[in-house]
Amino acid sequence: MQTIDVKRMAEELQRTEIDVIDVRMPTEYRAVHAECARNVPLESLDPRRVMSDRNGAADRPLYVICRGGNRSKQACQRFIDAGFENVVNVEGGTLAWDKAGLPVVRGKKSLPLGQQMQITAGTLTVLGVVLAQFVHPGFVALSAFIGAGLVFAGLTGYCPMSSMIAKMPWNQCGDGGCEGSCSA
């Protein structure tokens, strides 16, 4: 897998137009992103579609960025697995880009998905216990279901609750604010 650090990528940007996708959630992207990146969330990433939407730029590298580099590595691997080798992982991600003083767009911040998921799981667990105590003992199943879901998420790396929360309206850009442009 090819990698590039943010300073080298910025130098490349000075020389030519480049294509950069940010694979974070729309709310993360909206809060802060490299000025030249467009949002293509990892959760809904379709490598073939991304490549077909590049309008004749398929021969040029596709740079992939996230917050710190982990999700962009996963995204690059998806492209490679789909037969697209000309993808480049941006080391250090948006955190490194911002720290290097490179141009970013700052917007509306919201709670991170993990925190939203913790609030939801905690609320549903407490609700199940309270309802089991005061309404009907069968409501303890709600708490058990949430606990089992968390164990499943921990074992598989897939969390259906997080996926559902990610699709909520407050976690979408909705205003067309998920596009960027990288040109020299």
- The residues that are catalytic are 66
The Cα 171–Cα 46 span in angstroms is 20
The closest of 89, 42, 43 to 65, measured between CA atoms, is: 89
Q: How many CA atoms within 13 Å lie on the side-chain side of 147?
A: 10
